[in-house]
Amino acid sequence: MWWSVILFLTAICSSTQAANILYIDGVPSPSHFIWHKALINGLAAKGHNVTALSVDVEDSSLPNLSYIKLEGVYEGLNEKMELGSEIFEKGETNPFASLAMFNQYVMLGCELTLNSKGLRQLLHYPNEFKFDLIIGDFLNGPCLSAVAQHKFGRPPYIGATAANVVTMTSMLSGAYIYSGSIPDYALDVPQNMSYRQRFTNFLYSHYVELFRTYETYPKIDKIVRKVVPDITYVGELDRDARVILLNSHPAIQYREAMMPNVISVGGMQIAKPKELPEDLKKLVETAKKGAILFSLGTNIRSDLLGDERIIEILDAMGQFPEYQFLWKFESDSMPIEVPKNVYIRKWMPQNDLLAHPNLKLFITHSGLLSIQEAVWHGVPIIGFPVFADQFQNINYCIAQGVGKRMSIKNVKSGELADAIREVLSNESYRENMTLLSKVFRDQKESPLERAIWWVEWVLRNPTSQVLQSNAVRLDWSVKYSFDVMVPLLIAGLTALLASVKIICLVLCRRGRQQEKTKRE
């Protein structure tokens, strides 16, 4: 009896034992950090000792959470790849050119993080020090995660990213490309693609997978070996992911088939709303017909729009004096006088504002986290997509009847005013968003709780590879059976050509016989 109790208590203690976790966020993007921060804090709150190696850091009151800053990354990227107002032209860039530019960004980011004092601090940890688990954002490839896996003896590895594209996990999970039904996130096309769009999607999607295999991995491996010469090939280390935490959910994106080790934790960053600051609280609650939030997120600055666009937007806002506009604007300078119903603030508590019942509309850049928060709180949207997945995000919202899309490059006050008027006056937008919100919220546990459970599952089963598909280690041609289809195609063409030749020979012989008969 007592032995049973002791064994039971031992099992509980061992299952909840604090682990040493290294959490790597090497993606220079404030929005990615917002998402990762939820899990970092959640794991620390559960009692785990978390070391966060990150481009972005914040002060923490938790004694078991420490940050190591990867300094100089933003500055280095801005110096080499400064776009400024040109960022609003990126939506028209050819996707193949965009991929090459993103690869340049990845390589530069890898070099900057590897040369940081923060990484050197981590590499100076004693050789006997061990982490029980490494979690890393794989969006920028296996640069930091590979170095950490090598340094600490290849503990279990979890891939995690604030992106929601299942095919992005293909190198880690073996996910398949369904180019006939799912448009690649980089292509601005609807889900019901035309033949030409499907043709382009097929070529681009497979090109991306081959590009990662034969371009991205070898280049990262070459860069990493300057720091760690004897490291295992980085592509092999990347494929070692036990579980992949993906910022996805069927209610907020096109549905894709997923491998068993890909866990949907979409909206993990959405926290219980806090009370608004006094200035915003007063404005929102006293707005006659409600408030409208305008924000281009954390990676795009409204003050870079240029005077012409800013004037057009302010003019549109001024046409709705009964509504209070809240514009996240990063400077104090405006080209014209701001309308009385427009409030400018350098930072907006977006999630808290969207949760307020008097917030009627969200004008957004269509970033994934912003779309998720709008859906969660049931707020219709007008989207100004700029680059990357933002076009697919807003296209999905249009298909669901919860928003409208506009061009930020060519924004006109009249068109924006018409769009605002339509979304506010047509109840179907809010009704559809309310239904979508209900489905998104209807989960047996919160996305953060699910993410923590799976992290601890890996800790409980550190050597298990039961969820990993063998497709992750197959060559591209084998994975998609091109090595089977090509010989079959050649055989089919050979048989067809042989048949045509035989028929031609038979017809020619018959023709000669008939001609001979006529002459006789």
59: pLDDT strictly greater than 90 = no
Long-range contacts of 339-344 (CB under 8 A, 24+ apart): 339/314, 341/317, 342/314, 342/317, 342/318, 343/279, 343/280, 343/283
What does the pLDDT look like over 133-176, one tens digit per residue?
A: 999 999 989 999 999 999 999 999 999 999 988 878 888 888 88
Residue-level pLDDT at 507: 85
Q: Which whole-number Å values give the CA distances from 304 to 50, 106, 334, 338, in the listed order? A: 37, 24, 11, 17
What does the pLDDT look like over 282-298, one tens digit per residue?
A: 999 999 999 999 999 88
- Average pLDDT of the chain to the nearest whole number: 90
What does the pLDDT look like over 304-348, one tens digit per residue?
A: 888 999 999 999 999 999 999 999 998 888 899 999 999 999 999
What does the pLDDT look like over 214-258, one tens digit per residue?
A: 999 999 999 999 999 999 999 999 999 999 999 999 998 888 888
Rounded Cα distance between 298 and 467, Å, is: 35
pTM over the 0.85 mark: yes
Lowest mean pLDDT segment, chosen from 65-74, 79-88, 461-470: 79-88
Return phi, psi of residue 136, to 5°: -145, 145
What does the pLDDT look like over 371-380, one tens digit per residue?
A: 999 999 999 9
Residue-level pLDDT at 9: 34
Rounded Cα distance between 79 and 90, Å, is: 18
What does the pLDDT look like over 173-214, one tens digit per residue?
A: 888 889 898 899 888 999 999 999 999 999 999 999 999 999
Residue-level pLDDT at 3: 35
> What does the pLDDT average to over 480-502?
91
Residue type, 446: S
